Amino acid sequence: MSSFKMPGKRAPQNQSSAPLRIAVDTGGTFTDCVWIEAGQLKILKVFSTPQDPSRAIASAVARIVGQSKREIVLLHGTTVGTNTLLERKGARTALVVTAGFEDAIEIGRQARPRLYDLNVRRIEPLVPRDLRYGITERTCPDGNIERSPSAAELEVLHRKLQDSKAQSIAVCFLFSFANPANERAVEDELKTIGCPLSLSHRILPEFREYERMSTVTVNAYLQPLMQRYLENLCSQISQIGTARIFVMQSSGGIAALETAAAEPVRTVLSGPAGGAVGALEMGRSAGSDRIISFDMGGTSTDVALLEDSLQVTSEAEVAGLPVRVPMLNIHTVGAGGGSLARIDAGGALRVGPESAGADPGPICYGKGTLPTVTDANLILGRLRPENFLGGEFQLDVERTRRLFQEWIKRQQLAWSPQELAAGIIRVINATMEKAIRVVSIEQGHDPRDFALLSFGGAGALHACELASALSIPRVIVPPAPGALSAYGILVSEVVKDYSRTAPMLLTAKNFPSLVRKVEQIFTELEQLAAREFAVEQWKGRPRLQCTLDMRYQGQGYELNLPWRASTALLERFHAAHQKRFGYHHEGKEIEAVTMRLRATGPQSSKMTPRIVKTTAGKGKVTKSEAVFGGRRLKCAVVHREGFPRGFTVSGPAVVTEYTATTVVPPGWRLKLHPSGALLIDAQGLRKQQTKRKRP
């Protein structure tokens, strides 16, 4: 367990009676907990329990609370939804659609994942053909009901679904976003079955049938499992004390437990979203508002590009399935500290995406038997066995070397353990470098204009080498990097997103009349937000952000712009289209497609992210050896909590702390920022960036 003083804040006088807010981020290897007590941010890391993640959470909360009887507010970032989709272990789901569209979920779009692969295999839909049911109904695009489902047909559907033994039901009718009456009729008939019901007009009231159908199906597929998980978590936490539980959403805001249980599709990027929120906070405090966040955990790496704000998208895929709820624009790859090394059929070294996870874990943890990235860093001297988790857990170096050697012999390779370890690091770095290119270069951004903000338990071990490969001149390592995702959850605000598709042409002539229509839709969405905030007992009025999805008439894609009741909106759309796609059409008519409302309610206990503990004297520096570029070099080993203000050190160096280890390669220089962040600069790259002029 570790803690950091938070300067500039006094602990409230009645803190002992105030609820104890604990943020928990469940990862593949560790479960991270952070909370604020007596003006300090405290941190606890425990091994995850993959079979039942709630066990690790309950154990950690019990350690934190101890004998105190304080009320608990638990803010939870969960990977249950993501893992369920990846492993295809969700509920037996039935799908009710407009007759004739039963196969739309399987046909999907005509885009091929690999254009020239004649043997490409499409991803199987979550609902098999025998669990898809068509209903004779029709809603027109303008919302008029052309045909309602008959009572007899609904009774037949009821019997079929009961006999199917479906555990969850999704309903998605054509144009139900314009008028949900037919979906509500089905709900009235089926609610006595006892299965969770997911209706598309509530989950995603937007056009594009395939994407809406996919999203509501994912929600239904996850709902029973998420409900059981959250109920189990509530049960275990309630044995410790009185508690309220909230869940992190993919959009970067927290939601009440009841909302998360009813709409689990909004939590599929729960943990990574917390990391992006925390990275933005820490980047600002370290003086950088343009950052690339790099979160390397035990099983995966999450990267995102942040320019002074969170980048939210409504066009994402999870496990190959379209999910069109708002989520942060985060790219994930299967590369983490627990990623396993293997030799493929062609004799090449591969690393990941398979992971050792928390059980059995890497070799050096004492139970694993296969080489991982963590083991490779240990053999190269970059991970210090005596300083892991602040010295609470000793890594087994000798066992790691011995099992590396045995694995090499089994593979009939002429390598030493050090050569294998160096190869593992090069391969995993190449995977993560590609991920960073996806969110930067492939989106038209020059990574040299950004700082790489590294966090996660393993991120700072690799950050400088990745930055060097991409010519990024600065790496930022925030305080407590291994728990930054949990910290992001702790400081996240309450966020609710609403949308409604209502296509209309926007021209200078008809703009005044259309303003009234748009404002009416936003008013209805605001009223819905106010009701939901009141039901969940959030205090104060939420901040509202209104945006429009706009496009040229006839286009198949949209751009999202802030709503302004002025014809200048049309000019801003032309400019945005020019910036994004390199061209625009002044004479072409513009169409507003979907209205979006984001309602945000601040947390009552949001605190400054400056969480560094400073001391009057320099911490103890020892010497060791580590491998860089194939050479074993002497390097400084220093514990981070001993840093005084203004501390600097040149690489090679290894910085240890409770939640992570930071590696400073030769040619890089580290200095301590007043915020507590470590700024690591490659001097040559900094000089090049200073000379380079932006276009």
In this model, does residue 225 exceed pLDDT 50?
yes
Torsion, Cα 455 458 463 469, to 10 degrees, reads: -140
Residue 6's pLDDT is 36
Q: In what order do the strands lie in the sheet with 668-672?
A: 331-333, 301-307, 290-296, 451-455, 474-477, 678-682, 668-672, 648-650
2-5 and 40-47 as β-strands: parallel, antiparallel, unpaired? antiparallel
Domain 494-601 is found in CATH 3.30.1490: yes
Give 331's strand partners: 303
Q: What is the CATH number of domain 2-84+227-267?
A: 3.30.420.40
Residue 9's pLDDT is 36
Predicted confidence band at 612 (pLDDT cuts at 50, 70, 90)?
A: very low
The fraction of the chain above a pLDDT of 70, given in percent, is 93
Q: Roughly what angle, to the nearest 10 degrees, separates helices 181-190 and 151-164?
A: 50
In this model, does residue 2 exceed pLDDT 60?
no
Among 223, 156, 175, 159, residue whose Cα is nearest residue 196: 223
Query: Cα separation of 543 and 277, whole Å?
Result: 18
Mean of pLDDT values over 71-90 = 87
Predicted confidence band at 684 (pLDDT cuts at 50, 70, 90)?
A: low
Domain with CATH 3.30.420.40 in the chain: 2-84+227-267
In this model, does residue 133 exceed pLDDT 90?
yes
Predicted confidence band at 120 (pLDDT cuts at 50, 70, 90)?
A: confident
In this model, does residue 616 exceed pLDDT 50?
no
Report which of residues 692 and 164 the model is more confident about: 164
Torsion, Cα 218 220 224 229, to 10 degrees, reads: 40
Residue 111's pLDDT is 76
Query: Cα separation of 241 and 458, whole Å?
Result: 34
In this model, does residue 14 exceed pLDDT 60?
no
Task: Give pLDDT tens digits for 542-590.
Answer: 899 999 999 999 898 899 999 988 889 999 999 999 988 889 998 899 9
Mean of pLDDT values over 634-661 = 88
Task: Give pLDDT tens digits for 345-354.
Answer: 889 999 988 8
pTM score, whole prediction: 0.84
Report which of residues 311 and 398 the model is more confident about: 398
Residue 685's pLDDT is 58
Amino acid identity for residue 122 in this structure: R
Residue 619's pLDDT is 54
Domain with CATH 3.30.1490 in the chain: 494-601
Query: Cα separation of 684 and 669, whole Å?
Result: 11
Q: How many of the other CB atoms lie within 10 Å of CB of 505?
A: 11
In this model, does residue 473 exceed pLDDT 50?
yes
Residue 686's pLDDT is 53
In this model, does residue 290 exceed pLDDT 50?
yes
| CA torsion through residues 660, 327, 216, 580, sign | negative
Query: Cα separation of 228 and 144, whole Å?
Result: 39
Task: Give pLDDT tens digits for 293-326.
Answer: 999 988 889 999 999 888 888 888 887 889 999 9
Residue 501's pLDDT is 94
165: left (phi over 0), alpha (psi -120 to 50) or beta: left
Mean of pLDDT values over 395-408 = 95
Give 601's strand partners: 494
- Spell out the alpha helix ranges (H) of 510-618: 511-535, 568-581
| CA–centroid distance for 227 within its chain | 20
In this model, does residue 184 exceed pLDDT 50?
yes
